[in-house]
Structure 1
Amino acid sequence: MEDKTKVIIAGAGIAGPVLAIFLTLKGYNPIVYERIDTLADSGLSLCLQPNGLRVLSLIPGFIDKIVGKPFERIAHYSILGDEETVLVDAGFPAKLPELTGFSMMGARRPVFNRTIVEYAESYGVKIIWGHQLIALEQGKEEVKVTFANGASDTASFVIGCDGLHSSTRVCLFGQEQVSFTGLTQTGGISPTPEVFGKVPTMRNFYADGAHLICYPVTDTLTSWAITQREPEAKETWRSMDEIRQNAFKKSPFSEWGLGAGEIVQSADTIVKYGLYDRPELKTWHKGRVVLLGDAAHPTSPHLGQGANQAFEDVYHLVRLLVQHNPSAAAPSTALLSTIFAGYESIRIARASTLVMGARKQGETRVVRGIDACKQRNDALRVAWEDEDAVLAAFLDTYSHPFTGQSEI
């Protein structure tokens, strides 16, 4: 492996191991450094969608390894006082496999993370735990990376896949001021209620000042998250202590009907975190270092596109490396600049549109006051009235990052 071009990837979360597999397949020698000491059980779930699954399908055999649950319907419900009613019940997700080749699928995040890490290791990818990147020193032909434990390493170039709290991003562009959106999320994993029936469905419940989304992640488990407006909560995936969990399980959310309250009551572990906005970057690279996924374009979770957009990033970055550097030889800084600029020209505008769309979705979902809630519900009914038009919008999102033959 020593004669192959070495690439350091910061982050062994969702995107880093996927990228490492593709780089290995294309003749590079990627080494992944991860800040935490071992695989964590933090995080709840991923909504894997056709655009992301299309990229994952390019890894031989990996799709079959994913533990998840495809869903066939999307439903929206109103929970306003005594009014508990269906607003929308759409069946188009069942058509997606035929139309796109892939389903919408719920998966437990830690299970997916473990699966992709083990798959990367089976390709010979070296993953080194307990190494948090704290400094970058760029030279003419390589980058020196220094870690918090005092260790260091060098590589031809560095790709920061280290997520929302990216150290790579800070090293490149400095510490940014983050702003609290006024929204928090509280979520968990629960046994799927019998009232949900046999058809796997993504469900949205709209109340006064709160919204709950849930979807199956296995045949028997459902992931859920409640978004509400309240004072600031720290932006971490930390479990509530037992006292707070028990209090939440007895909160007014537990009294919601249509199965929503039941999943709150029966959750095994509940986590809570604040949702924050970050300044949008105009460029994702500097010299021989580039950002990918949440490190480049952190997003709120309301569209479920975070992981899928990271996989689109992976596709286009690898595609451009193959196009401009087919031999996988050590690239010059000028060649990397061409590759990274091409990657940004394709990805920045699209990612920005989806980040703004997710933010708007969160604002629209969570409104206060009965009149405002009824207006929201009416608007939702109208927006979903033409299911073919809704499907067309989803298909537009799912037409990326490529149609037809892959270029990697």
Structure 2
Amino acid sequence: MSSITREDPLAPKPLNLAVIGGGFAGLALTIGLLPYPNIKTTIYESAPAFAEIGVGVAFGPNAVRAMGMISPGILDGFKKHLTGNDAGYPDLKDVWASFRYGMNWTEEGEGEEKKRKYGDLITHLRGTRGALGSMLEEAGINTRSCIHRARFLNELVKLIPEGTAKFGKRLVDFEELGEGGVKLKFADGEIVVADAVVGCDGIKSTTRDIMFGKEGKSVKPNFTGEYAYRALVPVDIAVETLGDELAKNCQLYVGHQGYIMSYPVEHGKFINIAACRKKGDFEWDHENWIIPSTTEDMVKDFEGWGRNIIELISRFETKDKWGFYDMSHEEKYYRGRICLIGDSAHASTPHIGAGAGMAFEDAYILSNLLGTSKDARVWEKAFKCFDEIRRQRTQNIIKASKKAGMANSFQGEGIGSDMDRLRLDIKARYRWVWDFDLEASLVEAKMMLLNL
């Protein structure tokens, strides 16, 4: 005898949230909302499958802590693939990066000449201490936590329930409805109505363009005057070129108009390298943000740098040049029932290794604000609180990253190539990022929501 299950007409209907984009931000937010059965989240991804471009990415202690606060499953997946400094160098376990001279030059100052030699150590930047440092140590995570983007994305995808994501869904327009909710239109002709929308579609966000365009505003990514050659190099080639210690532990070589960063990923099988250049008023006059280049261009760009670094760059299998853009602006991150998080709201340059981590901080704050709201009418207020709590910190990250890129290229205001001042700047620039109290920030946001 079959049984018939009928829905309770008095049971509250779930709140429908449309998440545009299936990158780190969209997946982390969706995972953060899983404990709330009153919310039905759907990810709309324009690509035919989840995918990440790029190679290695670093996360600071603050971001790693945010992962675990959203879901232990995120942290477990991260730990599977994270790579820190090589275990054969225990004194470097808590080192985020070893800053070194990238070239030889003579520095004049105070009546004497100072010889700077390529490869010599400027300073070890060591990780955070206190409760956050203890948390990392207990979890078996090094201060330097690097991971291959695609590997980490795959771990996040495993936490997403089947049927949550829809692919090939390119957003073309949306309209806020007078009776509440948002009507979304996709390129394939489908129309969907959701209670609210969160744009997680990255620095080239369509959600952002539509949101601001409806107000006659244009908030676009800014080219920062910088670019980089990026590649994964097999560890044996890196060791052959740089030596064991320099290849297997994170190094940042500073120099005039640029810097080179290298660190291990894939459990030490590969070394991720980014060779960054900043050339005054250089303009990126290309439609694409990633363009083909040549070995000759790369070598010429780093003429005068250390011999073996030049040799390693010349052995890059990929020859692409990446333009650097960010999202420095003063606009709010929400309008009505539309909200932006992650790179769609505040993409940053990579100079302090904090941009990607902001997506997890965002997801923690917003998932908790939305999850504890029983009525979709409260979500607009939740977006307002999210904006007021997150906008200043994330825009400050963008500014700090710009300053770090300038300092690493000997163009920092009041710093130049003065090594004593550069050491002080290096030690100060990361602490406020890493030691941020995310839980206190959430408490502040919730109190703000209660008082609206």
For the aligned pair, the TM-score class normalised by the smaller chain equals 0.7 to 0.9
1:348 is aligned, of 388, 391, 395, to 391
Q: How does 1:176-187 map to 2 (within 5 A)?
A: 176-187=219-230
Q: Which runs of 4+ in 1 moved over 6 A?
A: 403-408
Separation in 1 of the partners of 2:18 and 2:321? 32
Q: Which amino acid aligns with 1:13?
A: G
- Identical amino acids, percent of aligned pairs: 23
Q: Which residue matches 1:84?
A: 118
Q: How does 1:5-404 map to 2 (within 5 A)?
A: 5-27=15-37, 28-40=39-51, 42-58=53-69, 59-66=71-78, 67-71=81-85, 72=93, 73=95, 74-81=97-104, 83-90=117-124, 92-93=126-127, 98-101=133-136, 102=141, 103-120=143-160, 123-124=161-162, 126-139=164-177, 140-174=179-213, 175-192=218-235, 193-194=238-239, 195-197=243-245, 201-218=249-266, 219-228=268-277, 229=279, 230-232=282-284, 234=286, 236=288, 238=290, 240=292, 244-248=293-297, 250-251=299-300, 253=302, 256-257=305-306, 260-323=309-372, 325=373, 329-332=374-377, 335-367=378-410, 375-383=417-425, 390=428, 394=431, 397-402=434-439
Separation in 2 of the partners of 1:404 and 1:342? 11
Query: Is the 1:232–1:274 contact (alpha carbons within 8 Å) kept by the matching residues of 2?
Result: yes
Q: State the TM-score, normalized to the length of structure 2.
A: 0.76
Flag the 1:202–1:396 CA change in 2: closer, same or farther, 3 A: same
Cα distance, 1:338 vs structure 2: 1.7
1:271-311 Cα distance to aligned partner (Å, 9 max, x none): 32222344514311111111101111121221111111111
The secondary structure found in structure 1 opposite 2:168 is coil
Query: Is the 2:33–2:371 contact (alpha carbons within 8 Å) kept by the matching residues of 1?
Result: no
1:329-364 Cα distance to aligned partner (Å, 9 max, x none): 4411xx122211111121111111111111111222
Separation in 1 of the partners of 2:316 and 2:270? 10
1:186-224 Cα distance to aligned partner (Å, 9 max, x none): 211112322142895321112222211222222121212
Cα distance, 1:176 vs structure 2: 3.2
Cα distance, 1:125 vs structure 2: 5.4
Flag the 1:265–1:402 CA change in 2: closer, same or farther, 3 A: farther
Separation in 2 of the partners of 1:405 and 1:331? 20
Separation in 2 of the partners of 1:405 and 1:176? 27
Count of matched residue pairs: 389
The secondary structure found in structure 2 opposite 1:197 is helix
Separation in 1 of the partners of 2:382 and 2:167? 29
Of residues 88-97 and 129-138 in structure 1, the stretch that sits farther from structure 2 once superposed is 88-97
Cα distance, 1:41 vs structure 2: 5.2
1:63-114 Cα distance to aligned partner (Å, 9 max, x none): 2222120233221111234631424232623968743425331111122222
Q: Which amino acid aligns with 2:150?
A: P
The secondary structure found in structure 2 opposite 1:308 is helix
Flag the 1:31–1:85 CA change in 2: closer, same or farther, 3 A: same
Cα distance, 1:247 vs structure 2: 3.3
The secondary structure found in structure 1 opposite 2:417 is helix
Query: Is the 2:355–2:397 contact (alpha carbons within 8 Å) kept by the matching residues of 1?
Result: no
Q: Which amino acid aligns with 2:169?
A: H
- If you compute each CA radius of gyration, which structure gives the higher value, 1 or 2? 2
Q: State the TM-score, normalized to the length of structure 1.
A: 0.84
Flag the 1:4–1:366 CA change in 2: closer, same or farther, 3 A: same
The secondary structure found in structure 1 opposite 2:346 is coil
Separation in 2 of the partners of 1:149 and 1:320? 32
Query: Is the 2:327–2:345 contact (alpha carbons within 8 Å) kept by the matching residues of 1?
Result: no
